[in-house]
Each structure stands twice: as structure tokens, then as C-alpha cells.
Structure 1
Amino acid sequence: MTTRSRVRAISVALLTVSASVALVGCSGGGSDGATPSATAGPIGKRVAQTCTELLPADALSVYGKTFTLDDDFTPEKGTPAARIAEQRGRVCHWSATDDASTTITVAVADLPEKSLTNLKDALYERGGSVPTYRVEGYFSLTDGVGRADAFADPYWITATSTLFTEPGGAQPVVDAVRSVVQPSASATPAG
């Protein structure tokens, strides 16, 4: 367990600097894991589902707003969504039609087991476990923006929005995406 504790400590340090840097450190292979390089390439598999498949419009209706998918969205550098994009994941961004400042960003990556383990360890150490996500899940609220992370192995799902002020606020989004990437998890209760 000493090695696992060290891995967790390293992962927490990486998460503190940038939550998404943990992906780089867990790619394994011959690279040093310190920084991404053009030759290292992504470690994730391409996520085939489209944004509207991952999160249908009816899943967003619970928020009492109409949302429009922003096809031109580029995630901010260093964010989990940006790292997921680098790993061949799918990044989706919706804006409320009546208030462009109300947005929901969802990103999904299909990652190797070691990467998922390192991410889970780092989030576990940070705290905020959410058993109602039916898979290993976490929630945090920073500067009014809620972030939900769920692991429907081999997928890492992360969602952010100002609408997510508590874990349950992100539940409809997490449930919708999880049911698409891992339908079997939807039928299995947590426990």
C-alpha cells in the first residue's frame, strides 16, 4: 500500500496544479510523464458518440431553460475538458438561449485503466465523493462553478456549470451521459 499512497500523493499534487495534468503522468510507456509531447500522442481512445447522443435535449429540460449546442466551443487551456479533447475525447458545450452566461460543459474520455485509477485516486484524496452517481463520482464547487466527475469505466465524464451548486444539480447530466457510455451502470444500484 505504500506505493499506492505515493501514487495518490503524486496524483493529488498534480491535481492541485492542474486537474488534467494527471492524465499525462499516467500514460506509462517510455515517456517521462512530466509533460505532454507531440511524439507521445494521446493515450485515450476516440469517443464515438456525438454531443447530442451523449446529452439529449430532454436531459437538459430539468433546468427550466432551453439550451443550444455551441459547435465552435474550444475549452480553456489547462482545464479537464481541454485535456480530454487532447485525449481524443468528446467535449460538448451548451449555452442557455435566454442567457449566454449560463452554460453546461460536458467532456468524456475513454482512458486506459491506469489513467482512470490515478484520476480516481486524486479526486478521492480531494474529497467530495458522490455515491448517487451510481459509479465512482466526485463533486466540487469553486467560485460558483460546480464540477462533477464520474467514472463509468473506461470512461471519465466531467461536467461543469454554474447551475451545479450541489452534487444533485449535476445528477441529470451525469445520469444521461453515463447511461449512453455504460448502459449497464444505469441498472446497477450503488453500494
Structure 2
Amino acid sequence: MTCTDLLTLDDVYAFNPNYGTDPSYKPTSSSAKTAASFQGLTCGLLNQSSDGTIEISLTQPNAQLMTQQQDNAVASSKIVPTYGTPPTAQGFFAVTNGIGEAQVFTDTYWLTISSSNFLEPGDAESLVSAALGHLK
């Protein structure tokens, strides 16, 4: 899966037409760095007018990492029912040091989407929904 498979150009445009692929993206959030260390997908979007960024990561963690990340989400985030219906998908959201992060766990995947522009769960909802719609 590529970044444009996870969030198509149409998905990103529908969210905000000012966003596009960040050509100099490197993982910065702990979630994206963890996903990258497990050969997951990490992507960056850049707001062409404000330089705001959105960081996306997706991985298929082993059972131990999945449990560890879910436990961390339960301890440090709030459950977001609009990100999916358990047990098919379980969603969480938290703002830490000014960065809002949505996390969704499915049977197979761990998806994270984070940005300083996400102050509440609804800010990331359309991207979360679009990404989940592309997972098989």
C-alpha cells in the first residue's frame, strides 16, 4: 500500500484543497516512528498556504505491539465512537503538547493521523474515515 492508496488525492482535496504531499516528510511523531520501525507506511501532508502538516502512519503490528499500542491509547486518550464500531474498529483521540492524534485499531491495522491543527476528534474524522475505507 502507498500513501495515495491510503488517502487518495480526492480524499485529501475533500478534506482541504490546500493540502498536498509533503516532499520533505520524515516521521516525527512517536506513533509514526514506531510504525516505520515495524516496516509500516508513513506519510506527510503539507498545507501549501500555511505550512501546517499532517502525519499519517499505518502498520500491521504483531500481536504484542498491537496490544501495547492499544493499552497506551486506552491509558492516554479518549474513545471516539465515530472512528469505527468495536470490535471492527476502535478509535481514540488525544491532544499532547499541542498535537492532536487520532488512532484507530482494527483486527489487522493500527492507523494514526496527527497534526497541530487537530484540536478535537472531529477535526481528523474525514481523513480517518477515508483511510479506513481504503483498508482491506
Largest Rg, 1 or 2: 1
Change (3 A) 1:94 1:165: same
Distance in 1 between the 2:95 and 2:15 partners? 18
Question: Given the alignment, which residue of 19, 36, 45 partners 1:67?
Answer: 19
TM-score by length of 2: 0.87
Task: Report the AA paired with residue 68 of structure 2.
Answer: N
Query: What is the DSSP-based 3-state SS (H/G/I as helix, E as strand, rest coil) of the residue aligned with 1:99?
Result: coil
Say if 1:60 and 1:172, in contact at 8 Å, map to a contact too. no
Offset at 1:103?
1.0
Superposition deviation, residue 179 in structure 1: 1.3
Structure 2: gaps spanning 5 or more residues: none
CA distance in 1, matches of 2:75, 2:69: 10
1:156 and 2:110 correspond: yes
1:126 — aligned with what? Answer: 76
| Counterpart code for 1:81 | A
Match status 1:93 vs 2:44: yes
What is the root-mean-square deviation of aligned Cα atoms in Å? 1.7
Letter in 2 for 1:53: D
The CA distance in 1 between the partners of 2:108 and 2:47, in whole Å, is 30
Residue 79 of structure 2: SS of its match in structure 1?
coil
- Report the residue type matching 2:130 in the other structure: A
How much identity, in percent, do the aligned residues show? 30
Unpaired runs of 5+ in structure 1? Answer: 1-48, 183-191
The superposition leaves residues 75-119 of structure 1 with CA deviations (integer Å, 9 ceiling, x where unpaired) of 13x72111111110010001011121x111100011122321221
